[in-house]
Structure 1
């Protein structure tokens, strides 16, 4: 009940501010892009100036700030904590008050992963990293197949009719290639890129990252996160991100929030690029494109293909078939890291069996468990007693 009151209070506050903004004429343009400001590590005034400049320069959209009050003419919604900031962001997205929102340190549910936009260091062309945060599936190969689909969805939304797909040469690349060719043979249209190394086919080498060979570069999320950070911080010696448009929107079947992630160390140009990325995705109707592509993929046997990949894992079927009922849901405000992606489902069920509500997600350094802060210490003890080497999640850049 207190949680319901809290949500209603935030929603009421947001609606009140929206009404006031409409009356004052500050909320007039069609496309509205949110930008949260808590956690910025390069000087929040840089983000505000970047947002002001890009918003003033373009007539088709406006940037709305969420966070501590700033000296700016942009419309603002105040929030003093990260939890309050994300709650307001989600409320505004869910009620259509924002078309998209750009934020930091945001945890997506399992099944959702983000597609980053990067400029190739060698040739200056844009390409999409699928994916850069979150996790599409617990099975690595299944996740990479879904990542390919997520990347295609974003590329098509951005106006590329037949995006060329390449798979980074990481563990599981060949199995992913085989699965994608099977999906294509079943009727889902996939155009494969060709590596600059003639013997590699659609399996991309490091050369291809520098050259930006494919339109969509498929990899697991953690590798994608590293690839993004290396390309984005190369010109600054690793201190801040100055290239690209951030880690992108979370994509997942039936996931409708256009919630986009940037690093806390994102520089001026990255913030502006992320805003333009968000505007293009909103104009391109990302959710409609996603629905169409998921429908096409399912008609081509996507579900059977994923199930086959899951059953092939280590020669066994999916583990942890035991049915465990989830306790009553509550806000999950604290993260726990140190659980391998293959064991995350087992850990969630273990916590549930002990009467504690938990959710799984993917942080910027790997999979995490989310629990209410009141249950954090109890959950850490429980997991450690069971053999998990866990610790409280540390906020990362």
Structure 2
């Protein structure tokens, strides 16, 4: 047995040396997973993109997570999407892969994804912060956090001092004031100027087209629409052919590098998304996230956010203390609840002895409960005045 192990080790060493001599790449490769179920264009679409990503970058090893295929890429077999998510999470948590690209994934509240597009005006890249998930139930608070998420991502991509612009949507001026306050208190945000004659850090449509800032800050729903437009404006919408996908989920304390693809993503976007994930791993995105949130909090981020939300959030004295029931598996989803009511809806279920969690699906806010308790939960929420119904998260 020991002799066989030695032979296997020697064989692996020689194979690694041969690969290195052939590719010029020495040292450990970055392993990026991709789940292969769920695409509107089929499994082969995702596999083709994965093969291109590995072929063009010898420093990357792509791991397919899904049904067995004839691809020569490393494979981890998963027959269902649910099994694929489970294997993905296990592999991320135990360090078998550094990042993973997937679809349909539900992030917890507080985590949102940072997209990356190629702008048509000058062909430059731009980060859109953010594109799925939600950083906060409060719009302006979420946009401030989105900006920090975008800065984290840009720095992990090697942009040392990224320029930041705020898209001219509802709440932009409040976000600008918050950024200026953070700047004044020691957390540097490099606000840029619009290409329009009147300048300013609030960006117009022109700035979207030419990619004025490195990081464009917006609310997630607007960001999601922008991703669709930038990715598929040349194809009519059903096939996303440009850009790098919806990007990694970023949030304070969130330690998995999970990147999101649209189900309509074509081969080029799939390949780019995997490369995006590999770049983030190489750039130590998790360490950068910890450092940036630490600096922002030191500059008073939490107090600034409280100031933004004090008019809409209940005081602690008004909140009824509700203890959560024992935790259980929550794979059933309930949709239709306004994001501002999401946490109250969770507490309403807790009061009735049903364990629930809040989350964000591809189409909006969701309450997650045990599958066997979905019907009962919908009845409770409907009786409490919430517009709720069982929903597909994507």
Provide TM-score, normalisation by structure 2.
Answer: 0.91
1:351, distance to aligned residue in structure 2 (A): 1.0
Q: Secondary structure at the match of 1:156?
A: helix
Counterparts of 2:11 and 2:241, CA distance in 1: 36
Q: 1:257 — aligned with what?
A: 256
Q: Give the direction of change, closer, same or farther, for the CA distance of 1:312–1:356 in structure 2 (3 Å limit).
A: same
1:53, distance to aligned residue in structure 2 (A): 2.5
- Whether the 8 Å contact between 1:222 and 1:365 is mirrored in structure 2 is no
1:37, distance to aligned residue in structure 2 (A): 0.7
1:22, distance to aligned residue in structure 2 (A): 9.1
- Whether the 8 Å contact between 1:320 and 1:345 is mirrored in structure 2 is no
- Whether the 8 Å contact between 2:53 and 2:272 is mirrored in structure 1 is no
- Whether the 8 Å contact between 1:311 and 1:318 is mirrored in structure 2 is no
Q: 1:31 — aligned with what?
A: 30
Q: Secondary structure at the match of 1:109?
A: coil
Q: 2:287 — aligned with what?
A: 288
| Structure 2 residue 388 is the aligned partner of structure 1 residue 384 | no
| Structure 2 residue 79 is the aligned partner of structure 1 residue 83 | no
- Whether the 8 Å contact between 2:363 and 2:393 is mirrored in structure 1 is no
Deviates more, 1:81-90 or 1:319-328: 319-328
Q: 2:5 — aligned with what?
A: none
- Whether the 8 Å contact between 1:310 and 1:318 is mirrored in structure 2 is no
Q: 1:354 — aligned with what?
A: 352
Deviates more, 1:283-292 or 1:322-331: 322-331
Q: How does 1:136-155 map to 2 (within 5 A)?
A: 136-155=135-154
Q: 2:268 — aligned with what?
A: 269
Alignment RMSD: 2.0
1:183-226 deviations in Å (ceiling 9; x for gaps): 10111111111112233511111111111111111111111111
- Whether the 8 Å contact between 2:333 and 2:393 is mirrored in structure 1 is no
Q: 2:4 — aligned with what?
A: none
| Structure 2 residue 328 is the aligned partner of structure 1 residue 323 | no
Counterparts of 1:71 and 1:239, CA distance in 2: 27
Q: 1:7 — aligned with what?
A: none
Task: Show structure 2 runs of 5+ residues with no match.
Answer: 1-7, 17-27
Q: How does 1:65-144 map to 2 (within 5 A)?
A: 65-144=64-143
1:320, distance to aligned residue in structure 2 (A): 6.4
Q: 1:226 — aligned with what?
A: 225
1:172, distance to aligned residue in structure 2 (A): 0.8
1:57, distance to aligned residue in structure 2 (A): 3.2
Q: Secondary structure at the match of 1:105?
A: coil
Counterparts of 1:347 and 1:58, CA distance in 2: 47
Counterparts of 2:170 and 2:370, CA distance in 1: 35
1:289-348 deviations in Å (ceiling 9; x for gaps): 11111111111111111111121338x647962221111112211221111111001001
Q: How does 1:9-48 map to 2 (within 5 A)?
A: 29-48=28-47
Counterparts of 1:319 and 1:337, CA distance in 2: 29
1:56, distance to aligned residue in structure 2 (A): 2.8
- Whether the 8 Å contact between 1:127 and 1:214 is mirrored in structure 2 is yes
Counterparts of 1:93 and 1:241, CA distance in 2: 27
Counterparts of 2:94 and 2:212, CA distance in 1: 39
- The runs of at least 4 aligned residues of structure 1 exceeding 6 Å deviation read 21-24
1:54, distance to aligned residue in structure 2 (A): 2.2
Counterparts of 1:22 and 1:371, CA distance in 2: 47
Deviates more, 1:372-381 or 1:319-328: 319-328
Counterparts of 2:251 and 2:348, CA distance in 1: 26
Q: 2:176 — aligned with what?
A: 177
State the structure with more CA Rg: 2
- Whether the 8 Å contact between 2:156 and 2:280 is mirrored in structure 1 is yes
1:25, distance to aligned residue in structure 2 (A): 5.4
Q: Give the direction of change, closer, same or farther, for the CA distance of 1:380–1:55 in structure 2 (3 Å limit).
A: same
Aligned partner of 1:372 among 370, 373, 392: 370
Q: Secondary structure at the match of 1:38?
A: coil
- Whether the 8 Å contact between 2:331 and 2:369 is mirrored in structure 1 is yes
Counterparts of 1:241 and 1:167, CA distance in 2: 25
Task: Show structure 1 runs of 5+ residues with no match.
Answer: 1-20
Counterparts of 1:49 and 1:62, CA distance in 2: 14
Q: Give the direction of change, closer, same or farther, for the CA distance of 1:268–1:24 in structure 2 (3 Å limit).
A: farther
Counterparts of 2:184 and 2:102, CA distance in 1: 39
Provide TM-score, normalisation by structure 1.
Answer: 0.90
Q: 2:21 — aligned with what?
A: none
